[in-house]
Amino acid sequence: MKTKLTWKQMVFRGVRPLGESSVPAILGGHILQNTLEFDLDEYEEIFEGYGTLKGSYPYRQQDDYDRELIDVEYSVAILENDYLCATFIIDLGGRLWSLIDKISGKNLLYTNDVIRFSNLSSRNSWFSGGVEWNVGIVGHTPFTCERIFASRATLDDGTTVLRLYEHERIRAIEYQMDFILREDDRALTCRMKMVNSSSQVIPGYWWSNIAVPEYAKGRLVVPATSAYFCDMIHVQKVPCPRVSRDCDVSHYKQIVHQSDFFFTLEKKKPRYIVHLDENGKGLLHLSSDRLQARKLFTWGDNPGADSWQTFLTESAGRYIEIQAGIAKTQYGCLPMPPNTSWDWIEQYGPITVPKELMGCRYEELELYTCKVAEKQLQENDLEEMHIQTRLFSKMQSTLMVEGSCYGALNRYIKEKSGEKDLSSHLDFGKITGPAIQWKHLIDHGVFDIPDPSIKPEDYLCSKTLYEHLVRSIEDKNKGNWYAYYQIGLYDFWKCDYQSAKSMFQHSNVLSSNAWNLHGLAVVSLVDSAVKDSAVYIKKGLALASSDISYTKETFRILQICEHYEDIIEAYEALDLEARSNKRLTYGYCLALYKTGMNQKAWDLITSDGGLVLEDTREGQNIVADLYRLVSKALFGRDREVPANIDFNALGVKLISNP
């Protein structure tokens, strides 16, 4: 059959559509990459910490979800020929959800049986399964749970191509993904591109995160003799595949604790990674040279890992991730020059290894898979394809699904200022939604004054818009509380805390409301003025008492301030529906423990099978830690933590600061 591209609505088993936080993510979050310790040689040239961020600002936290499963409809695109069928969820970052080898009937990826959000990304919400395209910021893309642009393009030979793209606001870049499956192709070709049209060097970041099933006798093959190993606390270089006497990472089930392994690919061999089941069948990921690294992520084989693997799915079983990226590790970005595009080719296809090789020495298995990769490159030179498709990557396409409004706004800003636009071929639609107010500011110098009882629209993340706004408060926006508030947020984001404080104070004089009071509470924490912070956020909560996300933020700030009596008072004033929120219940239990009401805390922690947070955070184990503390206070000893609330998959004791 000729290549077929189908657009449809598909029903998935999942949770209700996400709600976003009403407050900006300026307080920062628990991001593992920000606290790592590096023990590396001076010649490794790892960009440690370059481009890392404290939080997801200007993107809102997507922290309003539960675990109740319902039928949910998402927009999908299906690209197929006689050999492969690839399904992409456009509404969820364009994730490649499944890749079916039609000849064997095997899904080459791990496809979850549910879409269940959990707190594992910079914006909180994340879900396991498929291939996630991570761009812009360290960790998971801001678009993990967002609709992106989708269009139809055509190659010179008439082959239909699926094009996905977006504008990422923090780095102010565009990224584009062209998925090619010609009539006779046995592998899905992905032509990837990220563009920096600015005149500044920016942190560049890309990792393709590929979920594959975890097999009891599965093997991982990658042409590398060393790797950067991270236990989520330390980073060090280790030999591979045998990293210790008891652990051969090619037999990944031997890895006990949650781990990252970033493999250093041998220069004279193809850039590939292979995942195989016990029968020697699996996925071959192959790329051009731009993707210089490969990675293995595993939850490990321990009780905490079991909790995570159970928590993230319903009955689809366990998974690991194999990944490919532009840098040696994920713990920093690469400097991306001005007016530059980076592009590369990835291929995803089936591979079969003789079953008798599955029990052989790693060197024999690697020799065989390397020959397969070399043969595939001889038949289809990815570097040559990368060059030949450059003109195609700049051709226009037919828009099918619209994404965010900020690509159109960014283009308008460039047009007004005369800046280059290296992504002019991409159709970002019209300026709509929250972007309209920013266009109005550019055109007329006037900024909207919203109702302060309603949560603000999206936040500022553009130097040009910031400069327009600063100029406007000298004239047309002198009395606009919202203009000062937005300036304060941007000042805070660029760490000009004194200016941020001044802007929030001025905004509060013009209109004292929950939003500028939250800003004052957070900036007071920077000044270590915890009493002031607690006063501001309590005043804010009084104005937004029905807002669950504001209440969660209030509890978080009061915990930092150690104002536990205020948490108790606030929780006990909530209605029954709000009290059912597990994150708020945890805050209340912590406050009860801190004020000596241990029995009451114990009853809540252990009721209904145990306090399991909807948004349990990777790298934290706060409920289990509180369980131990309360049990010791009540009974004089630690009690064994129930498995369903123990999420420590690491080989070290977590510091959760309960």
CA separation for the pair 115, 67 (Å, rounded): 10
pLDDT at 15: 95
The pTM of the full predicted model, rounded to 2 decimals, is 0.96
Amino acid 654: pLDDT: 38
219-221 and 271-276 strand pairing = antiparallel
Overall average pLDDT of the 71-92 stretch: 98
How many beta carbons lie within 10 A of that of residue 371, not counting itself?
A: 11
Two tokens at 181? 């499956």
Q: What is the mean pLDDT of residues 277-286?
A: 97
On the question of pLDDT at 93 being above 80, the answer is: yes
Mean pLDDT of the chain, nearest integer: 94
Would you state the pLDDT for residue 658? 44
Distances (CA, A) of 416 to 214, 310, 421, 448, 502: 52, 52, 12, 21, 30
What tens digit of pLDDT does each residue of 564-584 get? 999 999 999 999 999 999 999
The count of other CB atoms within 10 Å of the CB of residue 136 is 26
Q: Is residue 362 classed exposed, middle or buried when 0-12, 13-18 and 19+ CB atoms within 10 A define those classes?
A: middle
Helix, strand counts (H, E) of the chain = 17, 28
Distance CA 504, CA 24 (A): 13
Q: Tell me the one-letter amino acid at 133.
A: W
pLDDT digits (tens, 9 = 90+) for 191-203: 999 999 999 999 9
Cα(647)–Cα(616) distance, integer angstroms: 8
State percent of the chain over pLDDT 90.
Answer: 89
Which residues are registered as beta bridge partners of 211? Answer: 321
Distance CA 252, CA 276 (A): 11
Q: Helix or strand or coil: residue 56?
A: coil
Q: Which residues pair with 175 in a beta bridge?
A: 166, 194
H or E element in which residue 625 lies: helix 622-635
DSSP string, 352-401: E--GGGGGS-HHHHHHHHHHHHHHHHHHS-HHHHHHHTHHHHTS--EEEE
* pLDDT attached to residue 387: 94
656 compared with 144, residue with greater pLDDT: 144
On whether the CB atoms of residues 260 and 232 are closer than 8 A, the answer is yes
Q: Rounded distance, CA 362 to CA 379, Å?
A: 26
Q: Minimal CA–CA distance to 550: which of 64, 121, 55?
A: 64
**pLDDT more than 70, % of the chain:** 98
Percentages of the chain per state (helix, strand, coil), in multiples of 5: 30, 25, 40
Work out the pLDDT band at 656, boundaries 50, 70, 90.
very low
DSSP state letter for 329: S
pLDDT value of position 38: 83
Mean per-residue pLDDT, 93-108: 98
Q: In this predicted model, what pLDDT tens digit does every residue of 410-447 receive, in sequence order? A: 999 999 988 889 999 999 999 999 999 999 999 999 99
Looking at residues 287-294, what average pLDDT do you find?
96
Element (H, E) at 569: helix 564-572
Written as six digits, the tokens of 261 are 């392994």
- Beta strands 271-276 and 173-180 are unpaired
Q: In which element (H, E) is residue 605 found?
A: helix 598-606
Asked if 377 and 270 touch (Cβ cutoff 8 Å), the reply is yes
pLDDT > 60? residue 322 = yes
Q: Does the pLDDT value for residue 325 go beyond 90?
A: yes
Is residue 109 within 8 A of residue 96, CB to CB? The reply is: yes
Task: Measure CA 352 to chain center.
Answer: 32
Over residues 217-251, the pLDDT tens digits come to 999 999 999 999 988 788 899 999 998 888 999 99
Q: At what angle do helices 463-472 and 435-444 cross, to 10 degrees?
A: 60
The pLDDT tens digits for 476-529 are 999 999 999 999 999 999 999 999 999 999 999 999 999 999 999 999 999 999
Mean pLDDT of 338-353: 97
Give the count of beta carbons closer than 10 Å to the beta carbon of residue 35.
13
| Whole-angstrom distance, CA of residue 290 vs CA of residue 294 | 12
Closest C-alpha among 345, 358, 356 to residue 282: 358
Are the CB atoms for 221 and 274 separated by under 8 Å?
A: yes
pLDDT value for 28: 81
Two structure tokens written together for 142? 């801001």
Both structure tokens of 416: 């007004």
| pLDDT tens track for 28-73 | 865 555 667 888 888 888 888 899 998 899 999 999 999 999 999 9
Contacts of 498 (CB under 8 A, 6+ apart): none
Give the chain's length: 658
Between the alpha carbon of residue 469 and those of residues 462, 472, 474, 476, 478, the distances in Å are 11, 5, 9, 10, 11
CA proximity to 30, closest of 582, 621, 584: 621
Closest CA to 281 of 216, 348, 350: 350
Task: Return the residue matching tokens 């790892």.
Answer: 46
Q: What is the pLDDT of residue 30?
A: 58
Backbone phi, psi, residue 142, to 5°: -60, -15
Compute the distance between CA of residue 485 and CA of residue 473 in angstroms, rounded to an integer.
11
pLDDT (tens digit, 9 = 90+) per residue, 165-208? 999 999 999 999 999 999 999 999 999 999 999 999 999 999 99
Alpha carbon distance 334, 521 (integer Å): 34
Amino acid at residue number 79: L
Torsion of CA 179, 182, 186, 188, to 10 degrees: 0
What is the Cα gyration radius of the chain? Answer: 25
H or E stretch including 631? Answer: helix 622-635
Mean local confidence (pLDDT), 293-297: 97
**Type of residue numbered 441:** L
H-helix or E-strand spanning residue 80: strand 70-80
pLDDT digits (tens, 9 = 90+) for 602-628: 999 999 889 999 999 988 899 999 999
Decide if pLDDT at 657 tops 50.
no
Cβ-Cβ contacts under 8 Å for 584 (sequence gap 6 or more): 548, 551, 552, 555, 571, 574, 578
